[in-house]
Structure 1
Amino acid sequence: MYSLLDPSRFVVFITGATSGFGAAAARRYVAAGAKVIATGRREDRLLALRDELGHDKCHIIPLDVRDRAAVEAAIAAIPAPFDAINIVLANAGLALGLQPAAETDLDDWETMIDTNIKGLVYTVRLLLPGLIARGGGHVVTLGSVAGEFAYPGGSVYAASKAFVKHFALNLRSDLQGKNVRVTDIEPGLTETEFSVVRFKGDEDKAGNVYAGTKAMTAEDIAESIFWATSLPSHVNVNKIQLMATTQAIGPFAIHREG
């Protein structure tokens, strides 16, 4: 019998739950009967999310994943029954700027490295022992099509997502025999706050990214995450790469003299 996992047994730790994929995933899991631990830097949004989803279903932790000590302390202090985590959604991440590499702000590069790479590894490394001790679970990382396909101005953002992809694949190797699954979710064009953050609050510039398109939504990505984690425990989806139907991989750029 092909039996899906029971989502009412899920306890999901989500980073970056204050908007976008993280918030949509929290709603999707709770709608299916799961419990979630929602973390993020914007406490007001976390409080609103908890009020929406219910205190018995949503535990919140104001948290900046770049702060290793804070991540350690937060995980150590999670109360029962929320401490029985069996799904980790390492979602926190961002892009900053689209300038050519020689013109970019090094502070932006550092922020992306600290969030997209260091915040990810802190989260996963500190939660993995608990998953293993409890008999298994699922780690979901948030990559991007940018981790596979280069584009002008992508530089460190794209490189950080390539790291995410290979980190997830290597986790699969390290976790053989531990009953812990790993899936990398790699979205393309999705209309969230992503571009507003990338362009540092310039909503006109952010809006131009999606003008004339039918982009994916945060709910589309959350549904893919939910699907991968709900499959029978003997099935591991290594990665899901999604693009809006209106988006495709373009031709190689060729610079011509004269």
Structure 2
Amino acid sequence: MTTTTESTSSPGLSAERLRAVVTGASTGIGAAATRHLVSAGWSVLAVARRGDRLDALAEEIGCDVLAADITSEEDVASIVETAGPVHALVNNAGGARGTETIAEADLAKWSWMYEVNVLGTVRLTKALLPGLRASGRGDVVVVSSVAGYTTYEGGGGYAAAKHAERVIAQTLRLELNGEPVRVIEVVPGLVHTEEFSLRRLGGDQAAADAVYAGVPGPLTADDVADAITWTLTRPHHVNIDQLVIKPLAQAAIHKMHRTI
């Protein structure tokens, strides 16, 4: 585990800047969210497992970075220590593995998806909640998925994990009612990122490309990052409970307009 700390001071910004932790920040939505929040004036600790990518991000935008695994209690403790006083947690780390039917389920893949998407979210949220409460204006963002609200063939493991992650957000909002911590769920549909489908499909680039083939204007990581930043920058008495964001071509998880 490595840590890199870069200066986040910029002309015209207050010394008392809001502080966020963003997970899964080495690529895709997490990296984009880090860029958008820094651009909006936040101080950000970007967290992911791949330190080399984080170092490149720190060099690019001047965020703080920590190479850490949210499935490790020891690493989570290091995240809390490195973050210091914090105002927002963006639970973005996660992902999908495989498209097998339930009859052919690979339970190792199911375990990985549950450990990262669900238990990782709970583990880090639990660890940072005392600081978020103490801030007097905390935020917990859960980046879930439309797969958390419906099901589809071959998506049982991912949908089950995302359903659980969605319930975490809804339950936490009830449990924190009356406290100065918002719970925000951002629910993306089809997002064309560099790695999501490629990793899900075991590195098969042709199969990953086919997921997006013929879809006019799938979402980008920047689209979702913009939505995350928008929810966090509303006046703190305004809670965006749930923000569903899909490309125009996607009417539902199982209904996609394609030009081919």
* Distance in 1, Cα, partners of 2:31 & 2:61: 11
State the one-letter code of the partner of 2:65. Answer: I
In structure 1, stretches of 5+ residues that fail to align are 1-5, 253-258
The separation in 2 between residues aligned to 1:13 and 1:68, in whole angstroms, is 16
Q: Aligned runs of 1:200-239 on 2, under 5 Å?
A: 200-213=202-215, 214-239=217-242
1:197 deviation in Å? Answer: 1.0
Q: Is the 8 A contact 2:94 2:117 kept in 1?
A: yes
Give the direction of change, closer, same or farther, for the CA distance of 1:250–1:32 in structure 2 (3 Å limit).
closer
Task: Give, as a single letter, the amino acid of the residue that structure 1 aligns with 2:211.
Answer: V
Query: Residue 176 of structure 1 corresponds to which residue in structure 2?
Result: 177
Q: Residue type of the partner of 1:68?
A: E
Q: Work out whether residues 33 and 228 of structure 2, in 8 Å CA contact, stay in contact via their aligned partners in 1.
A: yes
SS of match in other structure, 1:9 = coil
Is the Cα contact below 8 Å between 2:184 and 2:241 reproduced in 1?
yes
Q: Does 1:249 align with 2:252?
A: yes
Within 5 Å, which residues of 2 pair with 1:1-258? Answer: 9-54=17-62, 58-76=63-81, 78=82, 82-192=83-193, 193-213=195-215, 214-249=217-252
Aligned with 2:251: secondary structure?
A: coil
> How much does 1:156 deviate?
1.7
Which amino acid in structure 2 is aligned with residue 40 of structure 1? A
The one-letter code matched in structure 2 to 1:200 is: G
Give aligned pairs, total.
239
Preserved contact between residue 68 and residue 119 of structure 1 (Cα < 8 Å): no
TM-score normalised according to structure 1 size: 0.89
Tell me which amino acid in the other structure corresponds to 1:216.
L
8 A contact 2:90–2:142 mirrored in 1: yes
Mean Cα displacement is larger for which, 42-51 or 98-107? 98-107
Q: CA RMSD in A?
A: 1.6
Q: Which secondary structure state, in structure 1, belongs to the residue aligned with residue 65 of structure 2?
A: strand
SS at match of 2:54: helix
- Separation in structure 2 between the aligned mates of residue 115 and residue 135 of structure 1, nearest angstrom: 28
Residue number in structure 2 paired with 1:255: none
- Give unpaired runs (5+ residues) of structure 2: 1-13, 256-260
Amino acid at match of 1:108: K
Measured after TM superposition, the shift of residue 163 of structure 1 is 1.1
Pair 86,251 (structure 1): closer, same or farther in 2 beyond 3 Å: closer
Counterpart residue number, 2:9:
none
**Percent of residue pairs identical:** 41
Contact 2:150 2:253 in 1 (8 A): no
Structure 1 205/251 Cα, relative in aligned 2: closer, same or farther at 3 Å? closer
Shift of 1:73: 2.9
